[in-house]
Structure 1
Amino acid sequence: MRELLKDRNLRLLLVGQTLSMFGDTAMLLVLAMWAKQLTGSNSAAGTVLAAVIVPTLLAPLGGIVIDRLPRRPLMIAVDVATAAVVLTLLLVHDEGDLWLLYVVGFLYGASLVLFQSARAALLTTMLPEQLLGPANGSLGTVREALRLVGPLTGAALFAGFGGHAVAVLDAATFLVSALALALMRVAEPKPEPHEHHVLHEATAGARHLFTHPVLRALVVATVICMLAIGFGESVFFAVVDQGLGRPVSFIGVLAAVQGAGAVLGGIAVTVLISRVGELRLVPVGLALIGVGCLLPVSDLLPVVAAGSFLLGAGLPIVVVAIVTALQRRTPGPVQGRVFTAFEFLTGGPQLVSILVGAALVAVVDYRWLLLFMAVGNLLGALYAAVRLREPVPGLRVGPGTAEVEPTHPQPLA
């Protein structure tokens, strides 16, 4: 960490992202709480969050934008535009304005897809390959640590002053992030000229993922997880309401407990990723998520809290490991398209899962849905443990270079 903080650009990025991610953790929860308050429906809360995932279906087009433009100026523009979008929530007053929550959720999700993919690609320009894992781990730790305060702050502001106060706070954090990016000095390579049809360029990321055996297996493992985990956007409101008998604002407490687990997971992945490699950490994180989804079947608050803690611990491990694996195995000129293609391939199943979960939570006992989530993530962990393997020694892996494949690809299992 000390070596990372010597880099002025990374310090600025961390400052800006700390505030911006604080706003995210507060606002995204409040969008769901706001929908629940306006309609009294757990399904409405889940479908508003589904709107945040919908832009992943268009992510490959965003990848073209990321790879055709300098990434830092693009990120500044996205921050400023998103601040303006969030401020339109000041127009929400009653159930008739519910549609605006969906519009903002969709545009918010689009900004996350563009910004996070561009950020991951920018890091490969800013840092040497050996620091990518620790840098991703540091950003992940900060993001998850904010779950300790972001959701509680958002829930408290929502309960005391309404969603408008949270919208103003979130918009301000985007502007601070834009300022931090503007102060950075990064020499980005000139984007390569586009020589193919837009469809060919849009599918370049997916082609890279499916022709690379390690990344292909990573996609499959993530899809298995996403088909199950999306249920949680609606199910945990039912856990709070039906299982624990608490008001909707109590979801902020569980989110904070999840944040405590995420801090531990983020610290662990930052330390371990350079020692054991990112691929070995994927099944560990998925297994923690699976157990974390199983425990809230209980009506006992300590058991539910333990589940939230384990779920939180698993998430940053999986996310940091995946981001680092993609960075290390993707040529620089197509990183934007590869990250957005990954978002598309895994976000689609997550969206389906969120929508199905939102529909089922109204007619099926939420405990059965939790069991499905647990089984799905544990199956994903098993698949990852069997299929994900470190590259064959001697192959070249690094940012800006493609991994050299043997003439006859080695089996993964």
Structure 2
Amino acid sequence: MRALLARRDIRLLVLARLIDMAGSNALWIALGIRVKELTGSNSAAGLVFFAFILGTLGAPLGGALVDRVRRRPLLIVLNLASTVLVLPLLLVHDRHGVWICYVVMALYGLASGATSSAMTALTQSLISPEHLGDANGLLQTLLQGLRLIAPLLGAGALSAFGLGPLVVGDAATFALAALLIALIRQREDRPQSARQEEAGAHIAAGFRYIARTADLRQLAVAVVLAVVAFGFSESVLFAVVDAGLHRPPTFLGVLSSLEGAGAIAAGVGAAVLMRRAGEGRTVMLGLACAAAGFSLSAAPSLLAVAPGTLLIGASLPLIIAGVMTLFQRRTPASLMGRTDAALSVLIGVPQTTAIAAGAALIALVDYRVMLATMAVLMAASALYLATRTTRLPTEAGVTTQVRAGGRTTEPQNHHGDSAVGDGAADR
């Protein structure tokens, strides 16, 4: 990691991502609180986040754009556009302006999906395959730490200064991120011209690539099972605090801090684990941690819930870093944007459905039954990966080969290295 941060371009890329996420996380929570204040409705506040998720489902359109243009200039344009995009929120003063929040958040989600795919693709082009695990582990450590702080700052700033300064601050973070990306010096090759194909086929290419690449397909199936469990947890954790621990709702903040601490610790070790065991086993360990964490959380005792929460937090960076690294290593640069976008949709749709289902089921089903179901889903996901026969090429092994236009090619990244995997059978 020290070697990565010694490179000026990598420092700029990581800093841009952190600044972008800091502003976004602070604004999102504050905007939900503000809508709740203006309307008095929990449902209206929840629709803020639903509008964002709805926007992210347009990620395949952004992914198609990412694979047609240079990623660095695109990221600059997307960040500058987002700077302007959030400013209409300054017009929200009463309940009659709440619709503006929904429109802005839907467009915000659309821009965020394209930005995420472009950032993933740019990271792939700037960092050699053997260092992608280190980069993703580092980024997860920093982002998990940020997620502990940014929502608290957003809620505190809203209470002290109102929504306006937060909107202006978020716009400023986008502008600063654009500047930092503009300062990256490494030359980015122009994307190779793709063969002529219908727009729909071009957009769907990421889904087709995942479907025909066995290890990516298997990992996608496992992660879809996992995100259903995580979607249920959005509602279940409130019941753990109330019915299980008999604590006030504010105690959820304590559990959130424990979850963040577990995430930071796991993020630090994710890179080392991926080098030694491979991305697949890293993801499996994350899934197993989540299964154990959900099981422990069913016990009506803080002595069980606290370590369970730590394990749930630790599971996230292991899963995310392992998935991101494998997809970056196994996907040719010409498809990275669309493949990342396809994975976002494959994850986003079941996760959104699970969040809605969890909110309904928690009123009908004992929370311990739901936790048991979540643990089973996580364990089944880990077992599915463990029993797959597909084995990834090792770091010193076979170069990934991708069929394109009827011939076999070797996808190269910007450094001229083949996009290879480094470990076990395995977003």
**TM-score after normalising by structure 1:** 0.87
Task: Give the counterpart letter for 1:322 in structure 2.
Answer: V
Q: Which moved more, 1:335-344 or 1:394-403?
A: 394-403
Tell me which residue corresponds to 1:65: 65
- Counterpart of 1:231 in 2: which secondary structure? helix
> In 2, are the aligned partners of 1:230 and 1:350 still within 8 Å (CA)?
yes
Give the one of 245, 248, 254 matched to 1:246. Answer: 248
Q: Which residue of 2 aligns with 1:48?
A: 48
Which aligned pairs between 1:207-222 and structure 2 lie closer than 5 A? 207-222=208-223
Whether the 8 Å contact between 2:393 and 2:399 is mirrored in structure 1 is: no
How far apart are 1:368 and its partner, in Å?
4.1
Within 5 A, what are the aligned runs for 1:65-104? Answer: 65-104=65-104
Q: What is the CA-CA distance between 1:361 and the residue it aligns to? A: 4.1
Paired with 2:151 and 2:240, the residues of 1 have a C-alpha distance of 17
Q: Superposition pairs for residues 320-331 of structure 1, below 5 Å?
A: 320-331=321-332
Change (3 A) 1:15 1:403: closer
Tell me if the contact between 1:278 and 1:324 (Cα under 8 Å) persists in the aligned partners.
yes
Aligned to 2:16: 16
Shift of 1:135: 0.9
* CA distance in 1: counterparts of 2:309 and 2:326, whole angstroms: 26
Point out where structure 2 has 5 or more consecutive residues left out of the alignment. Answer: 401-410
SS at match of 2:234: helix
**Separation in structure 2 between the aligned mates of residue 323 and residue 102 of structure 1, nearest angstrom:** 30
Distance change in 2, residues 1:122/1:208 (3 Å): same
Mapped to 2, the partners of 1:323 and 1:315 lie a distance apart of 12
Greater mean alpha carbon deviation, residues 57-66 or residues 382-391: 382-391
Instruction: Report what 2:337 is aligned to.
Output: 336
* Rounded Cα–Cα distance in structure 2 between residues aligned with 1:47 and 1:186: 41
How many angstroms does 1:118 deviate by?
0.9
Task: Give the partner amino acid of 1:290.
Answer: A
Could you give the per-residue CA deviations for residues 18-41 of structure 1, whole angstroms, max 9, x where no partner exists? Answer: 222222333333344444545555
Counterpart residue identity of residue 290, structure 2: I
Q: Which moved more, 1:299-308 or 1:313-322?
A: 299-308
When the two chains are superposed, the root-mean-square deviation of aligned CA atoms in Å is 2.9
Q: Secondary structure at the match of 1:391?
A: coil
Q: Partner of 1:407 in structure 2?
A: none
Alignment partners' CA distance in 2, 1:154 and 1:294: 32
- From the superposition, tell whether residues 355 and 96 of structure 1 become closer, same or farther in structure 2 (CA, over 3 Å): farther
**Does the CA-based 8 Å contact 2:236-2:362 persist in structure 1?**
yes
Question: Taking structure 1 as reference, are residues 7 and 328 closer, same or farther at Cα in structure 2, changes over 3 Å only?
Answer: same
* Cα distance, 1:192 vs structure 2: 2.4
Greater CA deviation, 153-162 or 13-22?
Answer: 153-162
Partners of 1:279 and 1:389 within 8 A in 2: no
Greater shift in the superposed pair: 231-240 or 103-112 = 231-240
Q: 1 CA distance for matches of 2:87 and 2:36?
A: 20
Q: CA deviation at 1:82?
A: 2.0
CA–CA distance in 2 between the matches of 1:43 and 1:69?
Answer: 40
Tell me if structure 1 keeps the 8 A contact 2:87–2:171. yes
Q: Can you give the 5+ residue segments of structure 1 that lack an aligned partner in the other structure?
A: 405-410
SS of alignment partner, residue 57 of structure 2? helix
- Displacement of 1:257 after TM fit? 2.8
Return the TM-score normalized by structure 2.
0.85
Question: Hey, what does 2:311 align to over in structure 1?
Answer: 310
Distance 2:43 2:304 in 1: 25
Name 1:408's counterpart in structure 2.
Answer: none
Letter in 2 for 1:193: S
Q: Aligned partner of 2:312: which letter?
A: L
Say if 1:84 and 1:58 are closer, same or farther in 2 by CA, change over 3 A.
same
Identical pairs, percent: 43
3-state DSSP of counterpart to 1:208:
helix
Partner of 1:396: 399
